[in-house]
Structure 1
Amino acid sequence: MQTAPKQQPATDERDGAGPDRRQPGIERLRRLVADDMAAVNQEILRRMASDVTLIPELASHLIAAGGKRIRPLLTLGAASLCGYGGDRHVLLAACVEFIHTATLLHDDVVDESERRRGNATANMVWGNQPSVLVGDFLFSRAFQLMVETRSLEVLRILAEASAIIAEGEVLQLMTANDMDSTEADYLKVIESKTAALFAAACRVGAVIADRPQAEVQALDDYGRFLGIAFQLVDDALDYASDGGTLGKNTGDDFREGKVTLPVVLAFNKGSETERQFWRRVIEDPASQSDSDWPQALRHIERHGTIAETLARARAYGQKAHQALAVFPAGEARTALAEAVDFAIDRAL
């Protein structure tokens, strides 16, 4: 098993200090893997090709809409951190993006969403059936890419992550519109729906580099904690942003009756009258009136549940930073550390 390459420390390497604000967000990571990411984008376009014209048309609607490509960037960044010198990381990054995109197509159908990344969702443009079927196509493409890496361990990791994501979708469906859902139920949903793919995206970068188990697990932990923090911030922003930050309508979670952490905390801290309000608007979203959204925001603000949710996100972000400590200081580690700060600083 090879030894981790020694990297020269970056001049702004963080060891408990704040990130270098001269290179905010994920720009350092983008620059670090720019050539590989260009190859990933070409691979994505090539694999979307089909004689069935609706498939590339619909898939391109979502993929070409952009997004920050965080998951494939993490795969490439993890491979760079581990000193990988082959080309399988490109296949895996494309695979991870296909899995993510397929879940978005399915999510939007289940949630009856109308907006994604500032655009009309595919289900609003083409309908539910084409969206589900093209999502299935992208899942199939993802598994083809897994097989081409010729790694049974990679196949196991990503197949398991796909199964966990599906379980998370079902669990979210079961807990939606149910104010008896607990904080533990909520965390189980986001660990499954979001964090599982973040973890797998990072883990496979270490696996193809044949790194020691301690490093494989460290990257798994990093991705998992980052994924939890990322989703916590998303759910807080749904009650706090103007919608542009998320690329969806502010209050979508409220209107769909989703039980997210800001709501769970407000419900637990609220008076009996407030709890009756939450039960009505979440358990029966059809009963919501125009005045309910402002009232929900007042309850959320009164009990400080946005700040509390973001505090949880920062705690998970710190765990993600700590997971990187097993790797030598250097540009790749700094870039991955700044990705954590990006996920949390979206709320500033």
Structure 2
Amino acid sequence: MGLDTPNHKPHDVLAGLLSGDMDRVNALIRQRMASRHAPRIPEVTAHLVEAGGKRLRPMLTLAAARMCGYEGDDHVKLAATVEFIHTATLLHDDVVDESEKRRGRPTANLLWDNKSSVLVGDYLFARSFQLMVETGSLRVLDILANAAATIAEGEVLQLTAAQDLRTSEDIYLQVVRGKTAALFSAATEVGGVIAGVEEAQIRALHDYGDALGIAFQIVDDLLDYQGDASSTGKNVGDDFRERKLTLPVIKAVAAASDEERRFWKRTIEKGDQRDGDLEEALRLLRLHGTLEATRDDALGWTEKAKASLGLLPESELRDLLIDLADFVVARVY
């Protein structure tokens, strides 16, 4: 499959294959984000939900269920649940990060206010639990509730780790597993659970989502230092300006001389950033080869994701999920 051809990107092909299910998911999302008493809720939610995101996480739930032969309706509810959880975390993240742009558009907290973003995020979390309960599966509820708790835990850990030069790659991975991979792995795992496949396959689906989510976040962090703002919706160096200690910088700090460490301490820990500091940060990342090393890490997680699907039956959907894992890292070539 030609990953470099715009019309054949794996997530686009996946969206086409799952278009009927996705139409039902989108209709359910619009129905459940309505509020008779608080019109601001659908206003704020629609701003994010209708922003043209790839809907990757709900598609993973639909794909996993269909790949496992599921023919019921609960995968639609679970896909909407996953999207609500994701949207709630985005609303909260933008408040925490004091962000002004997401997907190239103004954030909800900028257009409305922090209070609206936090409270509407809470509303979406509540809606997500209502939806998952409707499946009648305690196991599904357990998986998604654990994911929601892990996401919050990862965000809190990031608060203390993001500007601490002692943050190791292990702690970074723990943060990434929380804030990103937990929802990816839950999204794929619940698809296998409602399809009633054997435990080894459910575990394989979890492992695929976990590895894909880690690769996805590592690539996002890498694109911050070498991406194209027109396609990422972020400016190069946003993470540096926001003093986020991501994997490329963690690797550079580990290899730093005393003088270089003083630079990172001033810019990241103390937040004393001056003209030319971003250029110096980029020079140090290139000097120590940390961008290439970070990409290699992402490739390693991609390979783990692909290998885990070996336990699933051969199908077009399985091939697309393998291609999707490759495409995640292809963004940084």
In 2, the alpha carbon distance for the partners of 1:306 and 1:181 equals 18
Q: Tell me how far apart the structure 2 counterparts of residues 249 and 113 of structure 1 sit (CA, whole Å).
A: 12
* Mapped partners of 1:219, 1:331: distance in 2: 16
1:257 is the counterpart of 2:243:
yes
2:159 aligned with 1:173, yes or no? Answer: yes
- Give the alignment partner of residue 253 of structure 2, picking from 245, 253, 267: 267
The equivalent of 2:11 in structure 1 is 26
Which of residues 38, 53, 66 is equivalent to 2:39?
A: 53
The aligned residue for residue 331 of structure 1 is 316
Q: Partners of 1:277 and 1:41 in 2: how far apart? A: 47
AA partner of residue 171 (structure 2): D
> What is the distance in 1 between the residues matched to 2:323 and 2:15?
11
Aligned: 1:109 with 2:95: yes
CA deviation map 1:38-96 (0-9, x unaligned)? 11111111111012111000111111112111100100110111010001000000100
- In the alignment, which of 272, 281, 284 is matched to residue 267 of structure 2? 281
One-letter code of the match for 2:183?
L
- Match of 1:199, SS state, is helix
Tell me which amino acid in the other structure corresponds to 1:218: A
Task: Tell me which residue corresponds to 1:303.
Answer: 288
Q: Which residue of 1 aligns with 2:139?
A: 153
Q: Secondary structure at the match of 1:238?
A: helix
Of the three residues 182, 197, 209, the one matched with 2:195 is 209
> Could you tell me the TM-score, scaled by structure 2's length?
0.96
Deviations 1:221-243 (A, max 9, x none): 00000000000000000011122
Taking the TM superposition and a 5 Å limit, the aligned residue runs for 1:77-92 are 77-92=63-78
| Residue-by-residue CA offset, 1:150-174 (whole Å, 9 max, x unaligned) | 1111000000000000100110001
Take 1:105 and 1:338, find their aligned partners in 2: how far apart are those partners? 30
Quote the residue 1:4 is aligned against.
none
Letter in structure 2 aligned against 1:80: R
Greater percentage in helix: 2
The corresponding residue for 1:9 is none
Query: Any stretches of 5+ residues in structure 2 without a counterpart?
Result: none
Displacement of 1:117? 0.3
Give the structure, 1 or 2, with the largest relative contact order (CA under 8 Å, sep 6 or more): 1
Q: 1:19 Cα deviation (Å)?
A: 6.8
Distance in 2 (CA, whole Å) between partners of 1:121 and 1:252 is 15
**Cα offset, 1:20, TM superposition:** 9.5
Q: CA deviation at 1:248?
A: 2.2
Q: Does residue 1:245 correspond to 2:231, yes or no?
A: yes
Q: Following the alignment from structure 1 to structure 2, what is the Cα–Cα distance between the partners of residues 294 and 198? A: 34
2: CA distance, partners of 1:319 / 1:20: 22
Is 1:118 matched up with 2:76?
A: no
Counterpart in the other structure of 1:134: 120
Residues in 2 aligned to 1:174 and 1:79: alpha-carbon distance in whole angstroms: 37
Structure 2 match to 1:38? 23
Q: Distance in 2 between matches of 1:117 and 1:86?
A: 33
**Count, aligned residues:** 331
The one-letter code sitting in structure 2 at the alignment partner of 1:269 is A
Task: Give the distance between the partners of 1:74 and 1:342, measured in 2 at CA.
Answer: 15
In the alignment, structure 1 residue 66 sits paired with structure 2 residue 62: no
Structure 1 residue matching 2:184: 3-state secondary structure: helix
Structure 1 stretch displaced more, 28-37 or 129-138: 28-37
CA distance in 1, matches of 2:53, 2:289: 30
Is the 8 Å Cα contact of residues 233 and 347 (structure 1) preserved in structure 2? yes
Deviation string, structure 1 residues 99-140 (Cα, Å, up to 9, x no partner)? 001001111100111110000111111111110000001101
Structure 1 gap segments, 5+ residues each: 1-11, 13-17
Partner of 2:206: 220
1:184 to 154, 162, 170: 170
Letter matched to residue 46 of structure 1: Q
1:235 to 1:20, Cα distance in 2 relative to 1, 3 A: closer
Q: Do the aligned residues in 2 keep the contact of 1:25 with 1:341 (CA within 8 Å)? A: no
> Any idea what the Cα deviations from partners look like across 1:251-299, whole Å, max 9, x if unmatched?
22111111110000111112211111011100122x1112111111111
Instruction: Give 2:8's aligned amino acid.
Output: Q
TM-score by length of 1: 0.92
Deviation at 1:202, TM superposition (A): 0.1
Q: Displacement of 1:23 after TM fit? A: 3.0
SS at match of 2:232: coil
